[in-house]
Amino acid sequence: MIRYGAFCVMVLFSLACIPLARAEEVPFRAAVDADGVQRAEIVGGGYFFKPSHIIVTVNVPVELKVRKEGGIVPHDIVIDAPDAGITVRENLSTEPKVVRFTPTKVGKYPFYCGKKLLFFSSHREKGMEGVLDVVE
């Protein structure tokens, strides 16, 4: 027979172990500025990117202003789609950096943090990823 107090502790412990689902984020659609460039800002940290879904138009230059939240954990942003004209590997710092490219092919391209500490899960495996959605 389980006593009430022990039962409560077991239930609370069980609930604490259930991973929480991420809230569905509204995609960010980059508008074309007067100079003909699409711009978006991405912040990384704590195993996330915000926004994690960015929509851009094909064959229009893109500028991503990327940075990380404070802290000592290193992060970067990687987009590896050379067939679409997109090759990005940039270490993030608290000071914003600008990454430029022109997507040449419609598709959904993952971006992620490529960092990993020894035998631990990579930052990408911990959820630090998103999608660059290139549309007509």
Q: What is the mean pLDDT of residues 65-90?
A: 97
Model pLDDT, residue 101:
98
Give the residue-averaged pLDDT of 40-69.
98
Percent of the chain at pLDDT > 70 equals: 82
Is the whole model's pTM more than 0.75, yes or no?
Answer: yes
- Is the pLDDT assigned to residue 32 strictly greater than 50? yes
Handedness of CA 99, 78, 21, 46 (dihedral sign): negative
Mean predicted confidence (pLDDT) in 99-119? 96
Residue of higher predicted confidence among 97 and 11: 97
Q: What is the pLDDT of residue 25?
A: 80
Query: What whole-number distance in Å separates Cα of residue 123 and Cα of residue 114?
Result: 7
Which residues are bridge partners to 32 per DSSP?
A: 38
* Mean of pLDDT over the chain: 87
Q: Residue 14 above 60 pLDDT?
A: no
**Of residues 18 and 77, more confidently modeled:** 77
Structural domains in the chain? Answer: 23-135 (2.60.40.420)
C-alpha closest to that of 50 among 59, 62, 42, 58: 42
